[in-house]
Amino acid sequence: MRPTKEQAKENRKRILDAAARLFRENGIHAVGVDAVMSGAGLTHGGFYGHFKSKGDLAEQALSDAMRKSLDAEPETLTLSQFAGTYLSAEHREHAGAGCAIAALGPEMARLPEKERQAATDYVRTRITRLQELQERQGNAPDRRKAITDLSSLIGALVMARLVNDPALSDEIMESVRSEVAGSL
């Protein structure tokens, strides 16, 4: 029996959410279609009714995850709050629910150009959002500083995740969090 349009829509959402989580946790190339479908609570057979290929799924899942991350931000967010949330122990320890760029940046850089468009759009939007935070805090928008802050935050999260010394990991996050939040 074919699913209703509403069930198909919900199944697609479940597939996108599962793929985004699994890709961020394990890497795009390490996660197969079977794992994604299982993670969504569905069988492999329904995959091609929703996506042309795994590349198509990766593009759409990561685009969706990055859009949701931007949409979830409160309008009253400050740079200090953003830096504090971004460089938190919770974000460090839960890559599957966190920033796709920090979790997958080097792997995404190797994807075909079309599949990188969502990341490009996200970075542009994030830079603009950081400039808006600067303005909201009474400063002139400074694109160079916004790019530097974004690069620092992403780099710090990557480093904090990769070191095997918890004290050093915390120190990396605290140092960059303090520098970004205190530099206004």
- Tens digits of per-residue pLDDT, 70-91? 999 998 999 999 999 999 999 9
CA distance 48 to 41: 16
Clarify whether residues 117 and 178 are in a common domain: yes
100 and 27 in a common domain: no
User: What is the reported pLDDT for 119?
Assistant: 95
How many folded domains does the chain comprise?
2
- Do 53 and 98 lie in one domain? The reply is no
Q: Domain range holding 52?
A: 1-62
Q: Output the pLDDT for position 114.
A: 87
- Round to the nearest angstrom and report the end-to-end CA distance of the chain: 59
Long-range contacts of 65-71, Cβ-Cβ distance < 8 Å, separation of 24 or more: 65/16, 65/20, 65/24, 65/100, 66/100, 66/101, 66/118, 66/119, 66/121, 66/122, 67/122, 69/99, 69/100, 69/122, 70/122, 70/125, 70/126, 70/129
42 and 93, same domain (yes or no)? no
Does 101 lie in the same domain as 182? yes
Q: Is residue 6 part of a domain?
A: yes
Threshold 0.75, pTM exceeds: yes
Whether 183 has a pLDDT exceeding 80, the answer reads: no
Q: Is the domain of 39 the same as that of 84?
A: no
